[in-house]
Amino acid sequence: MDILSSYNLIIEVSIIIILSFLFNRISSKTNIPAVLMLIILGVAIQYGLKYANVGDIDFFPILEVLGIVGLIMIVLEAALELELKKEKLMPILKSLVIGLFGLVASAWIAALILYQFIPEMSMQSAWLYATPLSILSSAIIIPSVTGLKEHKKEFHVYESTFSDILGIMMFYFLTGGLNPEEDAGVVGFFGNLILTVVIALVASYAIILIFQNIKSHIKLFLLIAVLLLLYGLGKKMHLSSLIIILIFGLVIANMKLFFKGKLSKYLKFKQAHHIYHELHTITGETAFVVRTFFFVIFGLSIAITSIFNLNVALISSLIILSIYAIRFVLLFIFVGKDILPQLFIAPRGLITVLLFYAIPVEAQVATFDQGILLFVIIGTSLIMTFAMIYDKRRAGTAINAANSKKVGTAKWKAPTISE
């Protein structure tokens, strides 16, 4: 039987999507990240293919495309939920500061660990390998924090989104240093950033004004195609393309803020808001499907046995320990004592894998074991799982105690005069 025939592929793809939906349901009940279950499913399929004597398949091109599209959809999905209000300014800035300092400090410590323990690893390569390991995974965090209090949920959405964008910008800034002739330096980097923001704002206004006048019902995938085109062209122009996606999401989600004064008369709010509402739905659905196949294929392509290597376990454990130590200090300084479960919500995932495979050939180190990547992803996901389960039980205990107190108060009645 040909496992990869057309009809079998349709059946297999359908089963994977159904299982992914079930994993999401299980995740909402148990707080076990659905991503972890998808990776395990991918590993199981990998061994199933070996048992069926299916030859080696190069999944990397599929993984790369899925990763890029998934990243765009996840950032857009997050941006569509961000409300820009005066009262949200401090939480946004706080999340930005924690995300930035957490990224840089984690990458620095991880680079020192990799440089120390891996032969042939130069400091420049160590920074390139450490950066993906230091980026929070919004693909895991955003679906996992829906049950938290609103202010904690918002913090994680902001922080993980900023971590994704800043991490990618930092990674490509570091890769620019590999080729001094093309490296624009710090001034060029910030000039590039300002140019990206200007292009993003102009494009966002233009897209909304044009699409609000399109009467055809078939326009949402056209809109997504335009965004993908802008992302691709931005990459070709060496711009920070993900910022274009983020700013578009912010503009369409906060149209009344961006269309003020004379601009307000050009906005057809009802039509534009309808686009926003439908885009929100289709973005979430697309992100779900892309995320599903990305992590299943990642599970298909990894060597699971590598995580049992003693040296891999040591290096990975040190990196994970440094992640939470740095996170504890930052949260304690900027948030205070109420840092649970935020302290342990720091999983690595889609961006980590995507950037790892984007490390230029001249910076790659043959002695680096990919098991470190897998160990850190699984380790941080499991830690987050246990923290979320503990927080859920703690919240449940607090609610039960409060209810018992109310019941006790209700049963007590004031004595009458005759008593």
- Choose among 144, 36, 32, 59: nearest CA to 386: 32
Q: What is the pLDDT of residue 205?
A: 92
Q: In whole angstroms, give the CA distance from residue 58 to residue 416.
A: 83
Q: What is the pLDDT of residue 418?
A: 45
Q: In whole angstroms, give the CA distance from residue 209 to residue 201.
A: 12
What is the CATH number for 46?
1.20.1530.20
SS3 123: helix
Domain for residue 131, yes or no?
Answer: yes
Q: In whole angstroms, give the CA distance from residue 390 to residue 413.
A: 37
Tens-binned pLDDT, residue by residue, of the chain (419 aa):
466 677 888 888 899 999 999 998 888 787 777 888 888 898 888 888 888 777 667 677 777 787 788 778 877 877 887 777 777 788 888 999 999 999 999 999 999 999 999 988 999 999 999 999 999 988 788 877 877 888 888 889 889 888 988 888 888 888 876 665 555 566 677 777 888 889 999 999 999 989 888 887 778 888 888 989 998 898 888 777 888 888 898 888 888 888 888 888 888 888 888 888 888 888 888 888 888 888 888 888 777 777 778 999 999 999 999 999 999 999 999 988 888 888 999 999 878 888 888 888 888 888 898 889 889 988 998 899 888 888 877 766 655 555 666 655 555 555 554 44
Distances (CA, A) of 98 to 103, 155, 327, 334, 350: 8, 10, 8, 8, 20
Domain for residue 404, yes or no?
Answer: no
Number of domains, the chain = 1
How far is residue 406 CA from its own chain's centroid?
A: 41
Domain for residue 419, yes or no?
Answer: no
- Choose among 80, 60, 207: nearest CA to 138: 80
Q: What is the pLDDT of residue 183?
A: 54
Crossing angle of helices 185-211/269-301, nearest 10°? 130
Residues near 166 by Cβ (< 8 Å), separated by ≥ 6?
A: 99, 100, 103
Element (H, E) at 42: helix 34-51
Q: In whole angstroms, give the CA distance from residue 85 to residue 88.
A: 5
Alpha helices (H) in 177-302, listed in sequence order: 185-211, 220-236, 241-253, 255-258, 269-301
Q: In whole angstroms, give the CA distance from residue 277 to residue 274.
A: 5
In the chain, the N- to C-terminal Cα span, in Å, equals 87
Domain for residue 358, yes or no?
Answer: yes
CB 191 within 8 A of CB 144: no
| DSSP letter (8 states) at residue 5 | S
Q: Of all residues in the chain, what percent are helix, strand and coil, respectively (each to 5)? A: 75, 0, 25
Q: What is the pLDDT of residue 399?
A: 58
Nearest 5°: the CA angle 327, 332, 334 is 95
Q: In whole angstroms, give the CA distance from residue 227 to residue 221.
A: 10
Residue type, 65: V
Q: Environment class of residue 95 by beta-carbon count within 10 Å: exposed (0-12), middle (13-18) or buried (19+)? A: buried
Nearest 5°: the CA angle 340, 345, 349 is 180
Domain for residue 408, yes or no?
Answer: no
Domain for residue 417, yes or no?
Answer: no
| DSSP letter (8 states) at residue 254 | T
Q: Which residue has the tokens 């499991």?
A: 382
| DSSP letter (8 states) at residue 232 | H
How far is residue 30 CA from its own chain's centroid?
A: 20
SS3 148: coil
The first and second tokens of residue 156, run together, are 């994680």
Domain for residue 400, yes or no?
Answer: no
Q: What is the pLDDT of residue 410?
A: 55
Q: What is the pLDDT of residue 101?
A: 95
Q: pTM, whole model, 2 decimals?
A: 0.81
The first and second tokens of residue 91, run together, are 């939480």
SS3 357: coil
Domain for residue 383, yes or no?
Answer: yes
Alpha helices (H) in 52-149, listed in sequence order: 60-79, 89-117, 123-133, 138-144
Q: What is the pLDDT of residue 408?
A: 59
* Residues spanned by the domain of 222: 6-137+148-394
Q: What is the pLDDT of residue 146?
A: 77
Q: In whole angstroms, give the CA distance from residue 120 to residue 49.
A: 35
Q: What is the pLDDT of residue 151?
A: 84
Instruction: For residue 239, count other CB atoms closer than 10 A to its CB.
Output: 20
